[in-house]
Amino acid sequence: MVREFELPDVGEGVAEGELLRWRVAPGDSVSEDQPVAEVETDKAVVDVPSPVDGVVEELRAAEGEIVPVGDVIIVFRIDGEDEPDGTETPPADDATADSGQQTDDEATTQQAEDTQSEPAVTQRVQVAAPPSVRRLARELGVDISSIADSSLGRITESDVRAHADANPPTQDHSNQQTTAAERQKQQATSMQSVSSVQARETADRETTVAVPKTRHVAAEEGIDLDTVPTDERKDGEPFVTLETVQEYAQAQQQAQKKDQEAVAERAAADEPARPESRTPYNGIRQTIGSAMTASKYTAPHVTHQDEVDVTALVDARSTLRQEAEEHDIRLTYMPFVMKACAAALQENPHVNVSLDEANEEIVEKQYYNIGVATATDAGLLVPVVEDVDTKGLLEVASETNEKTQRARERRLSPEEMRGGTFTISNIGGIGGEYGTPIINQPESAILALGEIKKKPRVVEADGEETIEPRHVMTLSLSFDHRVLDGADAARFTNSVQKYLRNPNLLLLE
């Protein structure tokens, strides 16, 4: 038995995914739940498991292809099961059950209708073609099973177009349905003839009849109703409908777009060729871009910046690093800052909030899950360490190291990037000092850490002031001004500084 397997919804509301790599090939035997493909979607790369025990019959998608959820990506042949032989008697439908057995004429008519409405499964021809090619075939009205395979063994877009050109569809007067491609062609033809039609049909028009809604839409589109072609009349005057105005506006927009494209092409032709490369803007990078855009244009960002003397923190890390290494844990400054932020959030709970716009409520969190922005080849990912306030320093360090490493290797699950209440971004790791980080919504604040540098500072000891070189770190706190004020951000930053200046206080947390 042949089993087609569609790309499942591998995330919340995901519409499509990029097929990164096949883990099987035609002819391979697979078992249920065995990973057969890697798909990138939303902010993670996930394994797609086999739903059955069987043999791979056909791969329907190519590596690197964007596949919509619900499209068939692989076909299995299930061992030990036969193809249906068509001898089974189909169950009677409700109408037959209620009215008794059909007459011969009724059965013949019903069989003809069924044949026209849906082909039998046993008559379907298996062909190798990507989902995008199958969609094109449907748009052009081409039966993809009637196309001979190309030299590569898969039906391509050019194969479909060549077949469509060689076999134009016949017009069916009993069913006046127009394909998407034909509608586009008709719109283009209409667009090209707008000027001539307008000149012919509106030359003598001084008044046009239209309902108020049509006039409103025409005004929004910047269209003069007296210029819209029409053959309809009302009370002896030219009458324009809403649909006519919308079609006319669309034709004008398409004409303007073509003009702009033509101008751009001419300008590009005049430019000298320069070396460049292009990379598809999709997958994780596109998801990050959409999230950052939504955050920036939804939450009014304000950034509070300050600096803190972390000389004592540098000394504490130096002292504890060797002990951490004995436990096979690499101790960085990040776990200290995460613990300091968790403590500061407890002291300033109004920062540990999110805005529920739908219900018009500010939600204050009583848990402290800290996200750590991590640079990867695919973009910025944010693994979340939960309940930082209840974990020891070395435990926080170990979990942070593990999750950031898996993020760089693209092995982090979507669940491990959810549920954060506050995010830290270490821009100092690559030499930055100050920044204006974008909030990781639905959180309300994000802290950027600058590079620790030696700077001259006035130090008071025994009543005397001296200038000494001290280790100084910069802090940049971006916050959502809808729920936090500048004073809230300053008080929170002061709390963070208190723990970084004196890391021994973290032992009390």
Helix boundaries (H) for 448-485: none
Residues sharing a CB contact under 8 Å with residue 15, sequence separation 6 or more, in sequence order: 68, 69
Question: In the chain, what's the furthest Cα-to-Cα distance?
Answer: 112
Q: Length of the chain, please?
A: 509
Taking alpha carbons only, the member of 7, 12, 6, 84 closest to residue 287 is: 12
Name residue 18's beta-bridge partners: 40, 66
What DSSP designation does 28 have? Answer: -
User: Residue 284: is it exposed, middle or buried by C-beta count within 10 angstroms (0-12/13-18/19+)?
Assistant: buried
Q: How far apart are CA 422 and CA 443, in angstroms?
A: 6
Helix boundaries (H) for 384-453: 393-408
DSSP conformation letters of 259-286: HHHHHHHHHHHHSPP---------HHHH
Element (H, E) at 73: strand 72-77
Angle formed at CA 353 by CA 350 and CA 359, multiple of 5 degrees: 120
Report helix, strand or coil for 34: coil
Angle formed at CA 172 by CA 170 and CA 175, multiple of 5 degrees: 145
In the chain, DSSP finds a helix count (H) and a strand count (E) of 13, 20
CB 283 within 8 A of CB 378: yes
Taking alpha carbons only, the member of 75, 67, 78, 76 closest to residue 7 is: 67
User: Residue 465: is it exposed, middle or buried by C-beta count within 10 angstroms (0-12/13-18/19+)?
Assistant: exposed
Q: Both tokens of residue 156? A: 């391509």
Does 481 participate in catalysis according to the annotation? yes
Given the residues 301, 350, 471, 481, the one annotated as active site: 481
CB 455 within 8 A of CB 473: no
Q: How far apart are CA 400 and CA 451, in angstroms?
A: 19
The catalytic residues are 481
